[in-house]
Amino acid sequence: MRILLCEDDENLGTLLREYLQAKGFDTELCQDGELGFRAFMKNKYDICVLDVMMPKKDGFTLAREIRQLNAEIPIIFLTAKTLKGDILNGFKIGADDYITKPFSMEELVFRIEAILRRVNGKKNNEATTYQIGSFVFDTQKQTLTRGEDVTKLTTKECDLLKLLCEHANEILQRDFALKTIWVDDNYFNALYQGIPNGGYTAMVEKMLDGTEVRLNVDYLADRENLNALAEKVVYTGPVDAYFGYKLGALQYRSVRFETEVLDTDNYQGNAVVNYTDAETPYTRIIEHKHFEFGTQPKTVISREYSAEWKKGDEPYYPVNDEKNGALYAEYKKLADAEPDVIFGGRLGEYKYYDMDKVIEVALDVAAKELK
C-alpha cells in the first residue's frame, strides 16, 4: 500500500514516514501542498495523509484539488486545529478521518488500516459482470458478449469500460480516468513531445566523448569485475533481474519493429501516425526523416507492433497496475539498500518516462552525486 504524506514539520514528517515504512507502507513525504499535488499527479497512492496547515498550499486546498482528480481515494487530515468549524470543513471537503495533534503514531496506523479495510472490502464486493444494452461485459474474463459473438478486450480496454460502468450516469473526469487506469498520464498530457536537434544519438555521442565504451557486455553475468571499475554503478536494466527475480518476476510490455526503406521522399507526411483500429496489426508507423524535417530522396519507416512479454524477451515498458506496483515496492526496498548502485530509467525504476523527464531526473541525480 502506498501513502502520500504531506507534512511541513520536517521532524514530525520524517518520523511519520519512517514509522509508516516500518509498518509496511510505501510512504512518500512532501513538505508543502504544492509538492504534494505534483506527487499526486505523477504517482498512484492508496491513501493520502494531509497536514492542514502547510506553506504554499494548505491541506484543505490540496484535498479539494485531489478530489477533482479522484473522488474515491481516502484522505486523512492531520491538524492542530480543534475548532468544530474546521473539523466540519474537513469532512465537507471529503475527509475520511481527522486526527488532531499531538497523536499516537500507532493510532494513525490503526485508522489507516481500518479505512483501507473498508475500501478494499468495497472493492471485493464489486460486480464482475455488467449488462450494457444487448452486451454482457465480464470484467474477470475481459470479454464483451452479444449472443454468440464474444470480443476479447485488452486489459486497458477492460479497465476503462469497467470504470465507466462503475460510474454509470455520472460525469467522469478525463483526468480521473487517466490517473486511475494509466497511473502516469504524462503520455496524454505532456507539454513536450519533441526531440533535440540532431536527435538523441548526437547527444549521447557528446556525453560519451573520451569515455571507454564496451558493447555486448552482460553486466549481470560479470557484475563483480565490472563493479570494481568504479565507485558507483548506474543500472538501467530490469530491477527484478538485478536481484535474480528473488521476489518474483515483474511484468513488462514489449514491442517489435519492422523497418523498411521506401523509394519515395514522403510516405505519411508526419513523424508518427498511431493506429487504433482492430484490423491494423501494428500500433504506429514512424517515418524517421520527419523528426528533422529531412529532404532525402528516400524515406525510412518503422512499423511498431505490440508484443506479449515473457522472461528472456526485451522489456520496454512497465505494467502500471496494483499487483506489479506492490511487487516493485518490495524490490525498491532492496534497491534502496544498495548504496553503491543508482537504479534509473523505465526498467530500473519500473516507471514510465518520456525522454524529457529522463533527462531531468538524470541531471538531478548527477547534481546530487557530485555535491
Domains 129-188 and 199-250+313-369 share a fold: no
Q: Tell me the residue type at 220.
A: L
The percentage of the chain sitting over the pLDDT mark of 90, rounded to a whole number, equals 38
Per the prediction, the chain carries an average pLDDT of: 86
Query: How confident is the model over 245-298, as pLDDT tens digits?
Result: 999 999 998 899 999 999 999 999 989 898 877 788 898 999 999 988 889 999
pLDDT for 186? 56
Return the domain boundaries, the chain. Answer: 2-124, 129-188, 199-250+313-369, 256-308
Query: How confident is the model over 3-54, as pLDDT tens digits?
Result: 999 998 888 889 999 999 988 899 999 989 999 998 888 888 889 999 888 8
Higher pLDDT pick, 182 / 198? 198
pLDDT (mean) for 124-138: 83
Query: How confident is the model over 318-354, as pLDDT tens digits?
Result: 887 778 888 999 999 999 999 999 999 999 999 888 7
Topology of domain 129-188, CATH: Arc Repressor Mutant, subunit A (1.10.10)
Buried b (16+ CB within 10 A) or exposed e, 335-350: beeeeebbbbbbbbbb
Q: How far is CA 340 from the centre of its chain?
A: 25
> 2-124: what CATH class?
alpha beta
Higher pLDDT pick, 195 / 53? 53
Its pTM stands at 0.54
Going by CATH, does the domain composed of 199-250+313-369 fall within 3.30.70.100? no
Q: How far is CA 152 from the centre of its chain?
A: 25
Q: Mean pLDDT lowest for which of 16-20, 310-314, 364-368?
A: 310-314
Cβ-based neighbours of 235, under 8 Å, separated by 6 or more: 219, 242, 341, 342, 343, 344, 348
> Residue 123: which pLDDT band, with cuts at 50, 70 and 90?
low
Q: Is pLDDT above 70 for 233? A: yes
